[in-house]
Structure 1
Amino acid sequence: MSAAPLVRGWCPTAWRPMAAGDGLILRVRPRLGRVSREQMHVVADVARAHGSGLIDVTNRAALQLRGLRERDWTSALDPLIAAGLVDHDPVREGRAMLVAPDWRAGDDTHRIASALLEQIDALPPLPGKIGFAVDAGALPVLGASPADFRIERAATGALMIRPDGRPTGAAVADGDEAAALIALAHWFHQSGGARAGRMARHAAPLPDWASDTLSPASGGVAMAQGDHPLGVAIGLPFGRIDADTLDKLAALPGVTGLRLTPWRIVLVEGATSAKLPHVGPVDLSVDACVGAPACPQATVETRTLATRLAPHVAGRLHVSGCAKGCARAAPADVVVTGRVGRFDVALNARADDAPARSGLSADDLIAFLESHPDAA
């Protein structure tokens, strides 16, 4: 029997990188999920000089610089801090905030997220994976993205606060949204939320002011690839971009910055389709973690296999190097999970669910998918 995968109770940050099979992972959380053109060049330079040059965009719209060296990763911090990409305070840098990426200066999302950043020191001690979402556009778009405390648009049109794991929330007065998020974080801390680790697992009764029957508005959709009012949205295969490509995007005429999203899409501000290097649409229905050898938890290669399997799957495909399922927490139509160098497969399942078949090779997987009417 193989050992259970290691589940860490914290996420990497710029000040606390995480070891992987290809070196250290250093995570950068740009303010408001935006990287200016000048900052794009800084990220590219740091990724090349101190790491492998590979950069991942996470499902919390952060950047992960890969392949940094244990002996000198701290030297990567100075240019990132100087560029305003990393906070000089490790505690502030550890606060995760996800922002609806199509915000405009002065709109509700921008206003609330900016206010929360200004008051970030008022937050209590929180577990490392706790995060906030500010999703105050006409329709919420971040409902499927990980966050513990949310400000979003209610079906009534009002703004509401909603803790993760609760289907409804409470109205919040205009201008009080950031203070409400901070108050809910204090309630979480004082009511023993650290023991649960995440809001969705915390069973304590909510305070009266945060408990109501408002439902989020429906109909919001994730950003699509292609032309956008703010520029051009481009898909990243498995959420990865390299330093040279980032430099090239920043150098394009009219480009002012890059908006990060939790959907493996980046929005190139100010770009036009005519000026972008030709890139075809990316199949975003395929999820795959970095796999072996880059991840020490994985015993199998994942992304080449995912590309090979994708034509044989009609719906959502998830290939995971281990049962942690880092690339996708939700169920997929077909999930393939690595185990001791072989593969398990399950349908309409998560990576840690019981498999339909175990111990398969890559060829066995294709034969299974071609013969199974629920998969192909």
Structure 2
Amino acid sequence: MRIYLLALNPTDSVSEGFLPAAARLGLDVTVLTDQPAAHRRTHPDIEVLECDVRDHRAVVTRISTHHRPDAVFTNSDHLQTQAALAAAYFGLPGKDWRATLRTKDKAEMRRRLAAAGVDTVWSAEVTEPVAPAGTPYPCVLKPREGVASENVVLVDDPEQLVTQAKEILGRRPGAVLVVEEYLPGELYTLETLGDGQVRHVLGGFHTELSDPPYFIEERLTFVPAHPEPVVAQVLAQLDALGVGFGACHTEFVVHEGRARIIEVNYRAIGDQCDLLLARLLEIPLFELVLRTHLGEQLPADLGARRDGAARLEYPCADRAGALVQAPAAGELTVDGVHLTYRPLRAVGERHELYRTNRDYLGVLRAVGTDQRTVDRVSAEFLAARSWEIQS
């Protein structure tokens, strides 16, 4: 059986998750990408074909002139609609392209949720640096189709809004920005996996952010089960968007018992959280995701382990410059906690300060059975190591 995997740049989710899973399932894999050289370096044993993957017509043509597909899949935020349309064209299982569009387009997501009567958030779209009439302050300014908190900023007044919009549009000419009311509350995630009929809730994370006005995710702590009323509210909002097939990573806030979606990433959670989930829950997470795209039904019980505790930490750059000292990759077990550290920036690399997850210097994954022990061991690991940047 052949699966076509659509991708932009190589990611840990694909390299360490989905490609090994495809191999374990005995699948023939063809990667379609607009960055073939990078994928051939990273995956020298995988067939890689160049394709304008942002254009669903080019994807259909590339597949139809190659081998017959059994599945079309992507874990990229940017390519979900293209993959959904290609899968539908070939009569294969996949996500509803309307749902992928609603989740990718943050303005359309707000309109859909409001029309369904499940949540109404004040929002407006802008294409130039202006402060829309009626904007509630504080508000959040972000790209309509952005990811990873990039160019997302909290704004306190009209003057700041105009200034920040001008800066973002200068970096992203032609972009459409969304201005929306700030939603207070603690930030969480809900991780789900479905086959269109059955939907499993895998748990979620409590996310700790950087100080305002930016929204960099610095630490995530696993939450085995959110309160049932909270889960019910989030799932109702996902139902209104038509989300229910494959993996989905949903970010939401809870304030006075009310759960409100911030954004929906209709794919597996990234930044190595998916790798941690697979280990923590002791389920073949990546294989299960691929099986849904091959048309297989999910089991009624995934057999997930429920006594685990976990934490992810992201040491971040605090200024622009070259990384001159940093710890190497490593794995060790301390007091029953399995630690996995992976660098995300090589020593010698010079970078600007991005105010996004591109400032991550590395990621620490910690898995155990007692949260206090996991937290302590993680803190001690990080305190014993240093990252030095020279401006």
The TM-score normalised by the length of structure 2 is: 0.29
Compare the two structures and name the one with the higher strand fraction. 2
The TM-score normalised by the length of structure 1 is: 0.30
Compare the two structures and name the one with the higher helix fraction. 2
